[in-house]
Amino acid sequence: MAIFKSTKQKTHETTATIKETSKSATIITKGTTISGSIIGNDTVHVEGDVEGTVSVDNIVVIGRSGHIRGNVRAPKIISSGEVDGEIKCDELDVMEPSKLKSKIEAQQVNVKGKIEGSVLCDEIVIEESGFVEDKVQARSVVVSGSLMGDVACEILSTKASGYVKGSMFVNNISNEGGKVEGAIGQYKEILTETPEETKEESVSEKDETAE
């Protein structure tokens, strides 16, 4: 049985996580600019500017003044700032007033801020203040805010305050009084593997053939 947490509980847990990680994190302070990759096992807290890849085996926290121009990879990412680049993680929390201009691949995505980019995930929850604009492919999509663009999922649930506009490829729709505009068809994939993954597979195939 799935267990869904309330918005207040989720917000409290996220705030607690930020406070806890800030005590032991590598911190890029406001006004600081780093050009180059950040790679390691420590938690990274960005309040300044990073121009390059951030890849860690822990948590990445992007504060309100934080801005990353590059790809971000981590098990968990909490953003209140900005990211211009590809994001890959298990869990992504997009807080207010965060703005992500990114291609996102994750398991769980919770949105209170703004995403301008495609999202490929297992489950995405768009809160009342949340806004997503681009293609979304997921198993489950829950919309209390706004989703503008094509969406493909097994289950689309639109709450009373939710607004979905675009082409929808879904197997099941639950509308609790929200506004839905656009064409509806049977589920199909609208996001495919990344060019990087395709390239890696091609290289592997060549290696196997050579052997």
Q: What is the C-alpha to C-alpha distance for residues 115 and 201, in angstroms, rounded to an integer?
A: 29
Omega prior to 195 cis, within 30 of 0: no
pLDDT in tens, 115-169: 999 999 999 999 999 999 999 999 999 999 999 999 999 999 999 999 999 999 9
Q: What is the pTM of this model?
A: 0.81
Cα distances from 136 to residues 30, 37, 71, 193, in angstroms, run 33, 28, 19, 14
pLDDT in tens, 163-198: 999 999 999 999 999 999 999 999 999 997 544 443
Please report, as a single letter, which amino acid is at residue 151: V
**pLDDT of amino acid 178:** 96
Enclosing H/E stretch for 175: strand 168-175
Domain ranges of the chain: 7-210
